[in-house]
Amino acid sequence: MEILKIESTEDSPQIVLDRESNILEISGRSLPEDVNTFYEPMMSWIEEYAKDPLDVTVFNFKLTYFNTASSKIILDILTQFEEMIEEGHEVMVRWHYPEEDEDMMEAGEEYSEMVDVPFEMVSYS
């Protein structure tokens, strides 16, 4: 599968989706002008990946900020993982948050309640 790598900008996150190296990560800030257009390549990649995923899929969210429009996209991604689990695949999410950022921690906890996907909360300084 092709590697999808998108560099971060001041209003959009870095995305690295690399099946061979087992790196699935989104990090940084997400407030792009048009979330649907920005996230389209990522959504397509994940859809393709879901057809033939790794034995264990670990997806890392390392966002420092996301706007409400992006929050809906994050739920769409998590819903895709939920479907993969229903199909018998093993998927887990690592939700990284700055240790002093309560809102980002709570956001992760809320997502973990919304979908049937195992979450590991990871704080960093």
Partner 1 sequence: MESGFLEFVYDFYKSMKAHEIKLVYEGRVTQQITKAFIALTEAQMKENAEASTVQRKVFHVMVECLQNISRHADEYESGESQYAGKGIFMVSRTEQYWCVTTGNAIFIEKVKELKDMIEQINELNEDELKDLYVRQMREGRLSTKGGAGLGFIDIRRKTKKKLEYNFLPITDKVSFFLLTTYIPRTS
Among 1, 72, 83, 99, binds partner 1 (CB under 8 A): 72
**Sheet of 90-98, strands arranged across:** 4-6, 14-18, 23-30, 56-66, 90-98, 119-124
For residues 33 and 52, which CB has a smaller minimum distance to partner 1 in the complex?
33
Among 20, 21, 51, 68, binds partner 1 (CB under 8 A): 68
112 binds partner 1 (CB under 8 A): no
124 binds partner 1 (CB under 8 A): no
For residues 33 and 86, which CB has a smaller minimum distance to partner 1 in the complex?
33
Q: How big is the CA angle at 18 (ends 16 and 20), to the nearest 5 degrees?
A: 160
Token pair for residue 40?
A: 């389209």
35 binds partner 1 (CB under 8 A): yes
55 phi-psi bin (left φ>0, alpha ψ -120 to 50, beta other): alpha
10 binds partner 1 (CB under 8 A): yes
Q: Quick one: which segment of 17-25, 31-39, 41-49, 81-89 binds partner 1 (CB under 8 A)? A: 31-39
For residues 19 and 93, which CB has a smaller minimum distance to partner 1 in the complex?
93
Q: What are residue 56's phi and psi, to 5 degrees?
A: -125, 125
Distance CA 30, CA 99 (A): 19
65 binds partner 1 (CB under 8 A): yes
Pairing mode, strands 90-98 and 23-30: unpaired
**In the complex, which residues of this chain contact partner 1 (CB under 8 A)?**
10-11, 31, 33-36, 65, 67-69, 71-72, 75, 100-103, 110, 114
